[in-house]
A and B are shown apart, each in its own frame.
Chain A
């Protein structure tokens, strides 16, 4: 029996009962379309999350010292200098700590969050933007000489002075019972510029950044630190740099094996999020696979009806010389093609559907060759699995019984 004839026969039979064939395929169509849409949207969402996390800091290491007795000397500014000098992959290193206090100009006093660190703070701070609108950030000279300088953001400048070009103006900062008069050297983009007018910004603390050295001169108990942010060049450097940093600090503080220092990163958090997401995707995909299963049962049902309806045809074919095997192939081919056409339609609808859903969620759906292959393999498998029983039933009919069938 030639494949071409079988193929044509199967198509003829499928198209002879268009409505019935379509209804039979519907289960497969819905199943495949949902699987495709879920995978595409899910992968798109996972990709979006990865990108977002990368922007947030896929190259960021968060170093923490476990400091139960608040000694405050587990990480010092000397440590930071040594780390930066000896590990060349480190781009930026700075404590990222904040103190609450007040800030005032001659006219205005407000609550403030004071961030302090090395000049690298501008690149690692998540509190304040690194985009300057006026002046400059405090630099290494300011830091080394513990100059009384500060950087504030646009919102703060506006609140304290009613204008943005405030470089050179003096502010008074009070933290931890100490007071400092600081000269503003730069103004960065406002954190809440986008939300202007959305709510009452006067209740929000102002942001001020200053050199750690300046602060620790005034407040000696803040000389040590227990949380440092390290920025490296590439994601691949995170793990080696993390262990180098911990090793070096342990050696410098004679605490090898005490688990005082630990370095974490966003990738670990990302892994967790992705794990949860893929669990979720797999769960929904499993539900969609049940639809596919139901679709397969539909195929089997209609093939059984078809075998019964065409009993005389089968008998005639056998009389004309069709063997058990040719009849088996004929009916199997029919159920496979039925499932495959359903799969193709499902694939098309799935692609359209995922574009619509992804569009609404503002993400880009991702289609892989894998999911297309999955559709082809899965629909063929459904066709074979649910077609084999009806096909065997047809093939094993006794010719004379089939011919006599009313």
Chain B
């Protein structure tokens, strides 16, 4: 589903050029749950941004669902982000002036989905993350864990082919972290492909595959049997 070949990304810092990604090749299949790990500066976030079509690369090839994305225009990329990719950010990135439901409906607004369907699908997504009863709350009225669950609902509301999470638990305490990990496992068991960037082995152990990064190259790519979290308790 995701197929990158010899991807290079070069940053110019002052007079020096830094290769953030040095001919990285990676293939991710549908239904996988992959963690990308590595120290800061290793290039894992750069890879994530390229995979998420938020950033462009200097050379190499990126096939997403059989489409070569390197020649696409900004607005074509925006459409693919809208339809195919769901993002979960470390700092949630919710719209402060919108309520929970409006936040989750936002990708559908950009996807030109009519209001009635938007609302139905947003409520469905929120129920999936256990927030079916918080629709009208403003995002500053809910806890950090709830915020991230809203962000996950927003990421899955357009039924993307892949969910990309960049340090999704970086701003959360350990209990809510486990909640988020449990939701990821549930979504993955229902067929959602997940790519997660993290620097914590504690998080990575819940995924099915870990890609280790260092200095812009993949140093290790391991498959593992994920540690399964117990079913969610009914709140």
Contact = CB atoms under 8 A, between A and B. Distances in A.
A binds B: yes
Interface of A: 1-2, 5, 12-13, 16, 312-313, 315-326, 398-400, 403
Interface residues of B, number: 25
Contacts of B82: 320-321
A322 B110 contact: yes
26 contacts: A1-B109, A2-B109, A312-B93, A316-B93, A317-B106, A318-B81, A319-B81, A319-B87, A320-B81, A320-B82, A320-B87, A320-B106, A320-B110, A321-B79, A321-B82, A321-B107, A322-B110, A323-B74, A323-B79, A324-B75, A324-B78, A400-B49, A400-B54, A403-B54, A403-B89, A403-B93
Given A316-B93, A318-B78, A403-B89, A2 B106 contact: no
Contacts of A315: 93
B127 interface: no
B22 to A, nearest CB: 19
Nearest to A313: B95
Given A321-B107, A326-B110, A399 B79 contact: no
A92 B89 CA distance: 92
A318 B52 CA distance: 11
B12 interface: no
With a 10 A CB-CB cut-off, give which of B54, B75, B82, B98 has the most chain A CB atoms. Answer: B54
B154 A320 contact: yes
A333 to B, nearest CB: 14
B232 interface: no
Contacts of A1: 109-110, 112
A157 B109 CA distance: 90
A5 B74 CA distance: 22
Nearest to B91: A312
Contacts of A2: 109, 112
Nearest to A325: B75
* Closest A-B pairs by Cβ, 3 of them: A321-B82, A321-B110, A316-B93
B55 to A, nearest CB: 4
A5 B89 CA distance: 24
